Chain A
Amino acid sequence: QSALTQPPSASGSPGQSVTISCTGTSSDVGGYNYVSWYQQHPGKAPKLMIYEVSKRPSGVPDRFSGSKSGNTASLTVSGLQAEDEADYYCSSYAGSNNFGYVFGTGTKVTVL
């Protein structure tokens, strides 16, 4: 399984919105509604922000939203805040041949 493709970087000013794409194939993103997004600050463990394409765990601000179209999933962060500056990774269940998960290449979000 190859890693899902994300842009290396994205940026926006406080209050603006930024959208990160996550492109896979019909064997992962396009085949299942099990896409998740994680936020990772330097030296810290990942934190689940979105699961099953568009669901938010309790405690995650509604500024974070997820969607999917075909083989591409997207994470949108609205109303950017300084604490949103972090690395973001998508993941998808990829069990068409063998059970497994595949992660995205990661996107560094910078708040200008």
Chain B
Amino acid sequence: EVQLVESGGGLVQPGGSLRLSCAASGFTFSSYSMNWVRQAPGKGLEWVSYISSSSSTIYYADSVKGRFTISRDNAKNSLYLQMNSLRAEDTAVYYCASGGSCSSTSCYPLLLGDYWGQGTLVTVSS
């Protein structure tokens, strides 16, 4: 069974930092690119960041560029999001979501969200 389990959310003051983790199991994590997607309370989904399977390629949404850092450890089947200089508008549920993958028989390079975690809530407030 595929599982993505996020952790690390919580209440943080504006300007503070937080590190989210996402533990993967049930699929070949090292073969997939991965993403973070967030959802503010009562709002829609927003793509936050992408990392390729080998960590060689990384992208961020303009809203978090320069403040957030995505990383992964394929040996630990884990994805991370380091969030610095947090703002009230960063308050959201943060989901890790699988990205594209390629095998010998099929390739879905830009697939987003075949697998999702349950999300972890980040609240930025004083």
**Chain B residues bordering chain A, tally (CB within 8 A):** 22
Cβ-based interface call for A63 (8 A) = no
Least Cβ–Cβ distance between B107 and chain A, in angstroms: 11
Report the Cα distance A45→B116, complex, angstroms: 7
A102 touches B47 (CB 8 A): yes
Report the Cα distance A93→B114, complex, angstroms: 15
A38 touches B59 (CB 8 A): no
Partner of B47, one of A44, A51, A101, A105: A101
B residues lining the A interface (CB < 8 Å): 35, 37, 44-47, 50, 59, 61-62, 95, 97, 108, 110-114, 116-119
A100 touches B47 (CB 8 A): yes
B110 touches A93 (CB 8 A): yes
Partner of A36, one of B50, B61, B111, B118: B111
Report the Cα distance A42→B36, complex, angstroms: 20
Cβ-based interface call for A106 (8 A) = yes
Residues of A within 8 A of B113 (CB): 36, 38, 46, 48, 91
B59 touches A52 (CB 8 A): no
A103 touches B114 (CB 8 A): no
Report the Cα distance A92→B116, complex, angstroms: 17
* CB-CB nearest in chain A for B45: A103
